[in-house]
Amino acid sequence: MEILKGEHVELSRPQFQQVLALLVHAPKGIRASDVYRKRIVSAADEAHALLERMEAEGELLSRTEKPSGGGHITRIYTKGRT
């Protein structure tokens, strides 16, 4: 299992770099929908999983925002480590 886990980490490293590149153009943060729309992943649930994993590894920080006019709560991700 550890070998497979290592391969999974290596496969997602390019995705990590693509997400971090998105943040260069969006310093106030990105949403999972941004990752999905840029085709970094093929499904919305994969975008959420990728961002949560990056947060767990310290690459990203997150905060929740609720629109002032009401609506769904959104998780916004910003760069973690400097």
Kindly state the average pLDDT of the residues 65-70.
Answer: 87
Going along the chain from its start, the domains and CATH numbers come out as 2-79 (1.10.10.10)
Cβ 64 vs Cβ 73: under 8 Å = yes
> Cα–Cα distance between 20 and 34 in angstroms, integer?
12
User: E strands, the chain, where?
Assistant: 60-65, 74-79
pLDDT of 7 > 90? The answer is no
pLDDT of 35 > 90? The answer is yes
Name the pTM for this structure.
0.80
Q: Give the angle subtended at the CA of 39 by the CAs of 41 and 64, to the nearest 5°.
A: 70
Phi, psi (5° rounding) for residue 39?
A: 65, 30
- pLDDT given for residue 3 in this prediction: 47
